[in-house]
Amino acid sequence: MRVQLHGTAEKWLKEYIDSFRDENGGLHPLMEVKRTHSLRVRDNASQIASELGWSGEQLDCALTAALLHDTGRFPQFAEWGTYYDGASLDHGDLGEKTLMEHFPDEKVATYGRWEDILLAVRLHNKKELPAGITPAAAPLVQIVRDSDKLDVFRLVRMHVEEDRINELLPRIIPSGGYSEALVREVSSERRASYSNVRSLSDFLLVQLSWVFDLNYAPSFRMLRRDGVLSWMERVLPQDASVNGFIQSALHHALLGESA
Ligand SMILES: [Fe+2]
């Protein structure tokens, strides 16, 4: 069995992204965001995996799946000019399809975990995970989902602090309070859908709900070390209708560090 795929995947992804460059070698700034995001998600997976003591094939799978998780973003933007899945298509599904069509077969023919990597790519962005994920694939799916969320927390904060959140999220209103439908949803379900997001406050509330979907103690510790939760607590508007939810999310994150 082949034991190392991560190096091959890194080389392949670079060449695949290069195919979207213009004749001067330029890459659209929003594709550049996804290129660097992919590398940071891989680095997050590396950190989580090392804290969990993963090694060998398990570590290699985690790094490979994390690196390739957003493969679908490149053809999505090239064809539809948007990262809104609702206005184009599901980029996790597209990532899996792209890898099946373009990642060289001979590189994975003897790699026993390629199907698990494809699954982790397909499921990295799903609100609900389907039943029936195998015990071997589950940790891989979970580490990619955690690693991705950690970098999106960081990216959103950076864009808000630099007053350019609309570059990242063109459809949201940077000011304003919470939408009623979203408040109802988070209060009752502890999670929320993007369809109810109107303002930046709404978006940050959805992001905060992600803490209920983090899987690993190292992920919670990284979130605190990055200062993301204390920043959110400062910038989220005070509103009696959501304060209970915010406090329960922060409490959950604290407990998660030692779970
Ligand atoms: Fe993604």
Tens of pLDDT, residue by residue over 110-165, are 899 999 999 999 999 998 899 999 999 999 999 999 999 999 999 999 999 999 99
Mean residue pLDDT across the chain: 94
Residue 9 above 80 pLDDT?
A: yes
Residue 5 above 90 pLDDT?
A: yes
Task: Output the CA 241–ligand 1 centroid distance in Å.
Answer: 30
The pLDDT value recorded for residue 153 is 96
Task: Output the CA 203–ligand 1 centroid distance in Å.
Answer: 16
Task: Output the CA 91–ligand 1 centroid distance in Å.
Answer: 7
State both tokens at 96.
């899996």
Task: Output the CA 215–ligand 1 centroid distance in Å.
Answer: 17
Helix (H) or strand (E) holding 152: helix 138-161
Task: Output the CA 68–ligand 1 centroid distance in Å.
Answer: 10
10 Å CB burial of residue 64 (0-12, 13-18, 19+) is buried
User: Within 23-103, where are the H helices?
Assistant: 29-52, 56-68, 73-80, 91-102
Mean pLDDT, residues 180-201: 87
Task: Output the CA 96–ligand 1 centroid distance in Å.
Answer: 12
Residue 2 above 60 pLDDT?
A: no
Mean pLDDT, residues 224-246: 92
pLDDT band at 3 (very low <50, low <70, confident <90, very high): low
Task: Output the CA 98–ligand 1 centroid distance in Å.
Answer: 14
Amino acid letter, 160: V
More confident residue, 89 or 1: 89
The pLDDT value recorded for residue 186 is 87
- Cα separation, 187 vs 109, in Å, equals 47
Residue 231 above 80 pLDDT?
A: yes
Task: Output the CA 90–ligand 1 centroid distance in Å.
Answer: 9
- The domains found in the chain, sorted by start residue, are 6-147 (1.10.3210.10), 172-256 (no CATH)
Contacts of 75 (CB under 8 A, 6+ apart): 94, 98
The pLDDT value recorded for residue 203 is 94
Task: Output the CA 34–ligand 1 centroid distance in Å.
Answer: 9
Going by C-alpha positions, the residue among 179, 212, 159, 202 that lies closest to residue 37 is 159
Task: Output the CA 155–ligand 1 centroid distance in Å.
Answer: 13
pLDDT band at 194 (very low <50, low <70, confident <90, very high): confident
Mind listing the pLDDT tens digit for each residue in 50-60?
999 999 999 99
The pLDDT value recorded for residue 168 is 87
Task: Output the CA 240–ligand 1 centroid distance in Å.
Answer: 32
| CA-to-CA separations, 215 to 19, 184, 224, 231, in angstroms, rounded | 35, 25, 15, 21
